[in-house]
Structure 1
């Protein structure tokens, strides 16, 4: 086995790290300066390098750039002081595999090395060049940049933080990162943090043992355990309760989980990808998201642009989706009319791709083609076009024309019926996004999900 390369200038720490690694059966070569580290690296070509970012003769970040340029497949674990987390985050963005913040325990140290070695791509054992963006449609410049970012982060173990409006395809993006990684053969486990009540979310993430709380009638593995060897995708991460955020941070730092009711923790090797439709830094400023957790998660950001900023992409998506939906529904559609193409280009799509797909499904189910025309679209899109063409002929079509407020339709209804009408209308006006509607109504998204489920059962 190729030895590990340790680049650390403090003699006492060299001795400690060497002792721990050799005690675990690893062969280690040590360098005390950037110059010696580069010389050993060019000779050994190690799969894994442990690199202190504070070196006497050169910046560790600069050295890391040279190492990766010489041998891009090397997995570099950077080591830095706890007060220098921004430098560690910068290192991850530049291509580091993982980072360790001093002080760290022996378990965390060895787990980072073990994981890096397990994921290292050795000569002749490369991951196939499958496209990580196969589920996306569109060729606009903003999406091309997204595809490039997905391809570049796939091989890394770095946590990925996906942002974007509701309906832009954040889960598809997470799946693409997973599919382009060395963990593609492992499980991809998604969990929507906004759809689960706060008192049950800990159990959903970390699992529980039988009898650990009322209703725990059997042992249940959590999403983190199910993702062992693969990827855990935490959607709507900003909806997570602050107390659970603390436990998630501990999991990220130790790679260990402790199910509810379990006497001890266990190791889990899962890559974390998270997503939100909020501004995470604003959530930190408002005290709703832990700053240390933000910096631990926000290593490689990917922002998905709204559909209205993607140029010709709405038409491309519509054409491909129309063909697929027509086949699924047994319809005879062959394409879009020129008027529909123009409408799709100008419409602002507050619900983004999800709204576009719903519009197409509606049209295909109720019509048979062969060409999708304006009169086949849902009535709200048709009315919106007529309203804007009369008022502002050259303006982009928007779904945000101010409605006329009236109580006439609410008179005579019970309070619970009024509540249902208001909630459903608010969700509809925000492109079907429950989290957005929850913010407008000043309630938790999980509250709305529970009400919607109850109405569905009673309906």
Structure 2
């Protein structure tokens, strides 16, 4: 176990806590200032850090914020006098494990530190066991609201509906709800209802009996049975075929279901968590989703913010993903220059956290040096900062409401060029190279459904560009794209581009 670090400019406080912790057979090390701690962090790490708020030469809150960026799992206990109570509460909301008011009872202080040590060792044990338990990261107010909601919802078994854009981390939220629930020892089973053909989805969910259909040579347990005693995560629930929604509603209502071809009811002892990137209310109005099922799922709704609403988390996420990619590839961890980080923080990330993770993996493989500068970023990011401002710049849609400048072609002469978009060959080649690079990065990082994801991004970009050019006139946009009016309306709804 690593030592507990005590940081306080008051020598008597350091002495009392150090002796009490040594008596409790806990390793301890003390520091008189935050500067000493920062110097020691270059080569060592504490198990738990206990820090005063007000000290000459550095604030305990500033130290807390720095540690939460670099070591988000490290428990930090803030010590404060009564007059600093507001600051302590603020620190607690910023991620402190707990705060300790002065004067404090030494035995209670040791008990609090023991709790922090236990929490730290649990996290450390999970990592050393190699468990795949990805944690959500974020310090933005929107993510703190999500963390608080997870804390409130985890002890219960209530059905939860998670909404949010693709790539925002909905499955991570579902895993966190399961991991901190009374069913944590049970299985967590996930199924993407949009990724399975509709004629196979019923069997995937509920299982089938031998001979139920051609090729069913043996009985098979479905996902509901596999999740017995645990949690079943239904991703992209908005894409579930209408006829299957009735069967799901029946399970949620009375807790029983039948295998395909079966006659004996099976009791479902599972907690259901559903997720979607679509507007379910609109799909109900369009007759594509059952209203009674919507209300059954929508007991508690948890909205996960897109990355563009939590830009202050990009630095933390970049550091985490770069470190993770470097560990997977067995190379040294790269870091971003201030200028490169500023570019990422300005980019809208239509693919959200998943897109950022893929980008970090690409940088780990492709960036030439340990420090990633603007010139090392992919063209769709670096081009936005390097193109000259003013006339002669055309907008190519890269995300919801965002456009990356690309040098426009010289206007063609003659009537044949009217209404046409002329793209230079060099730009077209760069676009194709970048697309291939994105696909390669996603495939190398273990991504699935890569074709669907890239197709959605392509369609989103093209439709947004058309709507931008036609000032939002959908019929004209459809005509200029060469697609039908109903097609563009459906695509806008599927891609979440409809503001309603």
TM-score bracket relative to the smaller structure: 0.5 to 0.7
Contact kept, 8 Å, 2:368 with 2:376, in 1: the verdict is no
Which structure carries more relative contact order (alpha carbon 8 Å, separation 6+)?
A: 1
Distance 1:374 1:136, change over 3 A: same
Equivalent residues of 2:343, 2:382 under 8 A apart: no
Question: 1:288 & 1:214 partners in 2: Cα distance?
Answer: 29
Distance, in Å, in 1 between the alignment partners of 2:190 and 2:152 is 22
Distance of 1:270 and 1:295 partners within structure 2: 18
| 2:403 is the alignment partner of 1:401 | yes
Alignment of 1:334-373 (within 5 A): 334-373=334-373
CA contact (8 A) 1:351 1:430 kept: no
Task: Give the direction of change, closer, same or farther, for the CA distance of 1:392–1:143 in structure 2 (3 Å limit).
Answer: farther
The match for 2:381 is 381
Distance 1:188 1:346 in 2: 36
| 1:175-324 paired onto structure 2 within 5 Å | 175-324=175-324
Q: When the two structures are superposed, what TM-score results if normalisation uses the length of structure 1?
A: 0.59
Are the counterparts in 1 of residues 208 and 219 from structure 2 also a CA contact under 8 Å? yes
| Partner in structure 2 of residue 155 of structure 1 | 155
Matches of 2:453 and 2:143, distance apart in 1:
32
After superposition, where does 1:59-208 map in structure 2 within 5 Å?
Answer: 135-208=135-208
Contact 1:236 1:274 (C-alpha < 8 Å) held by counterparts:
yes
Residues 144-182 of structure 1 deviation map (CA, whole Å, 9 limit, x = unaligned): 000000110011111000000000000001000001100
1:429 to 452, 458, 464: 458
* Alignment correspondent of 1:89: none
Give the Cα–Cα distance (whole angstroms) in 2 for the partners of residues 227 and 324 of structure 1.
29
**CA displacement, residues 178-202 of structure 1 (integer Å, 9 cap, x when unaligned):** 0110000000000000001111111
Decide whether the 8 Å contact of 1:162 with 1:304 is kept in 2: yes
Question: How has the CA–CA distance of structure 1 residues 175 and 367 changed in structure 2, closer, same or farther, with 3 Å as cutoff?
Answer: same
Distance 1:356 1:280 in 2: 27
Conserved? CA contact 2:334–2:364, under 8 Å: no
Gap regions ≥5 residues in structure 1: 1-127, 411-421, 433-438, 446-459
Please say which of residues 370-379 and 184-193 is displaced more in the overlay.
370-379
Aligned CA RMSD, in angstroms, stands at 3.4
CA distance in 1, matches of 2:333, 2:389: 27
Tell me how far apart the structure 2 counterparts of residues 423 and 327 of structure 1 sit (CA, whole Å). Answer: 28
By how many angstroms is 1:426 displaced? 3.5
Counterpart Cα distance in 1 of 2:254 and 2:189: 20
Q: In structure 2, what is the Cα distance between the partners aligned to 1:335 and 1:291?
A: 49
Tell me the secondary structure at the aligned position of residue 401 of structure 1. strand
Q: What TM-score, normalized by structure 2, do the two folds share?
A: 0.54
User: Following TM superposition, by how much is the alpha carbon of 1:387 offset from its aligned partner in structure 2, in angstroms?
Assistant: 4.0
Task: Describe the shift of the 1:251–1:314 C-alpha distance in structure 2 as closer, same or farther (beyond 3 A).
Answer: same
Would the alpha carbon gap of residues 392 and 324 (structure 1) be closer, same or farther in structure 2, given more than 3 Å must change?
Answer: farther
**Conserved? CA contact 1:208–1:259, under 8 Å:** yes
Q: How many corresponding residue pairs?
A: 298
Distance 1:199 1:151 in 2: 38
Query: For residues 391 and 323 of structure 1, what CA distance do their matches in structure 2 show?
Result: 41
Q: Which residue pairs with 2:94 in the alignment?
A: none
Unaligned 5+ runs, structure 2: 1-117, 124-132, 407-419, 429-450, 462-486, 494-500
Structure 1 pair 430–178 and aligned structure 2 pair: CA distance change class (3 A): farther
| 1:351-388 superposed Cα distances (whole Å, 9 cap, x missing partner) | 10011111111111123531122222222222233348
Q: 1:158 and 1:326 mapped to 2: Cα distance? A: 39
| Inter-partner Cα distance in structure 1 for 2:370 and 2:336 | 9
Whether contact under 8 Å (1:333, 1:372) holds in the other structure is no
Deviation at 1:326, TM superposition (A): 1.4
- CA distance in 1 between partners of 2:301 and 2:355 (Å): 25
